[in-house]
Amino acid sequence: MSGVTVEQVKELVMDTLNLHEEYEPDEITGEESLFGDDGLGLDSLDALQLAVAIEEKWAVSIDENIGETVFRSMKTIADYVNANRASA
Amino acid sequence: MTASLPIPHREPFLFLSRLDATDGEEALFSYDMPRQGDSFSIRMFPALLMVEAMAQAAAAFHGVQMQAADADAEEETGVLASVDKVRVSARPRPGDRLTIKVRRKKAFGPMVLLAGEVWVSHRLACSADIFVRRGSPEGART
């Protein structure tokens, strides 16, 4: 099973949250913060929608207690999915 | 359960008549639509009001759970955050009895996702994903 890439996470995030009108794909590197004014500015509703989308696409459940760590950036999401995918 | 539901809505903008059953994961409500000629009767029940009924059911379910948990007033409140994936397949008519079902799908931080359904005579009339933010409206901007 090949690993999930940052590019795939970026595609999922943009599709799930309808970010295509706000950002060009090249504007997002995968390293920037997802939340807060210095990042993409996502909120708690976005986090829940992302958690559901990740569970549906890669069968990886994200515990809400570690959500802040996992959702730090698209790279941390990809790392978490790859670390937990086989055992999901 | 016929006691008043833990939501502020009142007729003619209340689309739940009673809570029929609940457990930790889902709740079933009924709504007896007024018959034509009754006070507040409407010829058709627009799809938007079925969405409103599911939102009211989600709020009432949250309130019932918080009351059962003896939560404080702050935790008892909730705010409708979003509605998504609305599907409409039938329109109820005056005099119909609606069954409104809400099922908790996932909670994440302050947000809760519930699957809502409206049934009329064993036929699914409407479904949607309902997002509720737990807590007071003042804290709903994060």
Q: Is A55 on the interface with B (CB under 8 A)?
A: yes
Distance separating alpha carbons of residues B82 and B87, to the nearest angstrom? 15
Contact B142 A62 (CB under 8 A): no
In a domain, residue B77? The reply is yes
Cβ proximity of B109 and A48 under 8 Å: yes
Mean pLDDT, all residues of chain B: 86
Contact B131 A48 (CB under 8 A): yes
Tally of domains within chain A = 1
In a domain, residue B12? The reply is no
Distance separating alpha carbons of residues B74 and B85, to the nearest angstrom? 29
In a domain, residue A1? The reply is no
Q: What is the pLDDT of residue B59?
A: 92
In a domain, residue B1? The reply is no
Q: Report the CATH number at residue A79.
A: 1.10.1200.10
In a domain, residue A20? The reply is yes
In a domain, residue B50? The reply is yes
Q: Which of A49, A50, A65 to probe the B interface (max B CBs under 10 A)?
A: A49
Write the CB contacts of B93 (distance below 8 Å, at least 6 apart in sequence): B33, B44, B45
Query: Side by side, which strands form the sheet with B18-22?
Result: B18-22, B26-32, B97-108, B111-120, B123-134, B78-88
Size of interface A-B (CB pairs under 8 A): 38
The residue segments making up the domain with residue A38 are: 6-84
Q: Report the CATH number at residue B127.
A: 3.10.129.10
In a domain, residue A13? The reply is yes
Going by C-alpha positions, the residue among A34, A40, A74, A72 that lies closest to residue A54 is A74
In a domain, residue B13? The reply is no
Q: Is A43 on the interface with B (CB under 8 A)?
A: yes
Question: What distance, in Å, lies between the first and last C-alpha atoms of chain A?
Answer: 13
In a domain, residue B3? The reply is no
In a domain, residue B124? The reply is yes
pLDDT tens-digit profile, chain A (88 residues): 689 999 999 999 999 998 888 888 788 888 888 888 778 888 899 999 999 999 999 999 998 888 889 999 999 999 999 999 865 4
In a domain, residue B2? The reply is no
Confidence of residue B118 (pLDDT cuts 50, 70, 90): very high
Tally of domains within chain B = 1
Length of chain A: 88
The residue segments making up the domain with residue B82 are: 18-139
The mean-pLDDT minimum among A64-73, B20-29, B122-131 falls in A64-73
Write the CB contacts of A53 (distance below 8 Å, at least 6 apart in sequence): A12, A16
In a domain, residue A78? The reply is yes
pTM given for the model? 0.82
Q: Looking at this predicted complex, what is its ipTM? A: 0.76
